Amino acid sequence: MNLSVIILAAGQGTRMHSTIPKVLHPLGGQSLLDHVITTAERLEAAATYVVVGHGGEQVRDALSARRVEWVEQAQQLGTGHAVAQAMPMIPADHLVVVLYGDVPLISIATLQRLVAAAEREALGLLTAHLADPAGYGRIIRDAQGDVVAIVEHKDATLEQRDINEINTGMLAVKAGYLQRWAATLDNNNSQGEFYLTDVIAMAVRDGVAIKTVYPVANTEILGVNTKGQLAQLERVYQLQQAERLLAHGVTLRDPARLDVRGQLTVGQDVTLDINVVCEGKVVIDNNVAVGPNCYLRDVTIGTGTVIQANSVIEEAEIAAGCRVGPFARIRPGTRLAAEVHIGNFVEIKKAAVAQGSKINHLSYVGDATVGARVNIGAGTITCNYDGANKHQTVIEDDVFVGSDTQLVAPVTVGAGATIGAGSTITKDAPAGELTLSRVAQQTRKAWKRPVKKPKHDK
């Protein structure tokens, strides 16, 4: 059966107290709506329709790369009205699945069962049992246990409010039915809105069987209306990521102190210490250890590499057997070859460092090419910026750079050269030679260090 998905994403989200449309707030590094679209794609629907209203242009711009059909709900008159805006574009013989842009954790397994329930002309309805059902529409069943209606919380009697089976809002039904029902909805209720839930009573009237499905876990149906709910859902999502990694064999020092904000791929025997944050696309190979309080964004880390505590690595490639940190910053455009050592308080930017080189202490190397087996002493910097343009520094193989050296780009240090400590190198240094620039050392005899004058009481 052909399938179409409608995602309702038109709500204003006033309780978020934000100028950002509610469905664009991030969860695990992706917007709420992005999560729902990704799950919908896994249903392999013929088309996905996203109904937008408040901040619709902002939503479309943020997700312009997604393959969806955008539908505008100019006036927000309720969920039934929102669905009705999309129905003219959907063929009558399609099965329609209705989802919500602020309910991001719904699983593909649950949706597949919902679709199966709607086969053979039935209406599949996703419900759940909650200990505290306040605020949700209640599922009304007859004496035989069949669903006959949904009553919104604000319209429910005290007796109906005691029911703990609630409507999640998600359903699946043939488009022909939904088109007819949506066209006849009224807003005769306490909110003055066109409720999608009213189609349940219409289905009963028309003899359409209603088959209920429960989610795999109730966390799947949690929506976001406040920043507090968003924070709670973030923890749920991160625990899910931690459980996935643990099942894959990753050692997590504390599963509650990990944040995955994108796509994390890991090999075998990987260890992640506390407070590791992974953003974007992060690929970690076998036998890698990442220390506490590290930030990784769009990086690849090769086999056996150790990232020590408090290191920041962004848009970089790190090969096998490297050691980085503690307190290292690897900036975008950096490529470290195998067995490179980057030490404490070292910053590397847009540089390629070849195999076996070491930059261990308090140095800055930017816009540079560093050869193999190079040793760069503490306090060395490449002076790559002249105030208007960036320039390249080239350090060839087997160079030794003494501490507190400034390499003023553009400059090349030839293979096997040695740079004396404390030098400022402004011209190319020849291969195999010692190059240094120093003022002659002086000793001034009988020099007295200034003494601070004592303060006198007034």
Residues forming the active site: 361
Q: Residue 98: name the closest of 21, 13, 175, 169 by CA.
A: 169
- Whole-number Å distance between alpha carbons of 30 and 59: 13
Which of these, 253, 337, 248, 333, lies nearest to 297 by C-alpha position?
Answer: 333
Instruction: Mark residue 120 as left, alpha or beta (left: phi above 0; alpha: psi -120 to 50; beta: remaining).
Output: left
Handedness of CA 56, 58, 60, 62 (dihedral sign): negative
Number of neighbouring beta carbons within 10 Å of residue 59: 24
Phi-psi bin for 53: left (phi > 0), alpha (psi -120 to 50), beta? alpha
Residue of 238, 150, 264 whose CA lies nearest to 200:
150
| Cα–Cα distance measured from residue 7 to residue 371, given in angstroms and rounded to the nearest whole number | 53
Could you give the CA distance from residue 256 to residue 274 in angstroms, rounded to a whole number?
Answer: 8
Q: Is residue 196 within 8 Å of 123, Cβ to Cβ?
A: no
Which structure tokens are listed for 349? 């930017």
Q: Give the residue among 264, 354, 344 at the shortest CA–CA distance from 311.
A: 344
Residue 138 token pair: 């209640």
First-to-last alpha carbon distance for the chain, in angstroms, is 96
Cβ proximity of 418 and 403 under 8 Å: no
Cα 418 to Cα 216, 290, 341, 378, 432: the distances in Å are 65, 34, 19, 15, 7
Candidates 293, 216, 220; CA nearest to 253 is 293
Q: What are 442's two structure tokens?
A: 């002086």
Question: Given the structure tokens 């400590």, which residue do they identify?
Answer: 421
Taking the mean position of all CA atoms in its chain, how far away is CA 218?
23
Place of tokens 């901040």: 55
Nearest alpha carbon to residue 419 among 337, 366, 363: 363
Return the closest-CA partner of residue 374 out of 357, 353, 361.
Answer: 357
What does the block give as tokens for 303? 């086999």
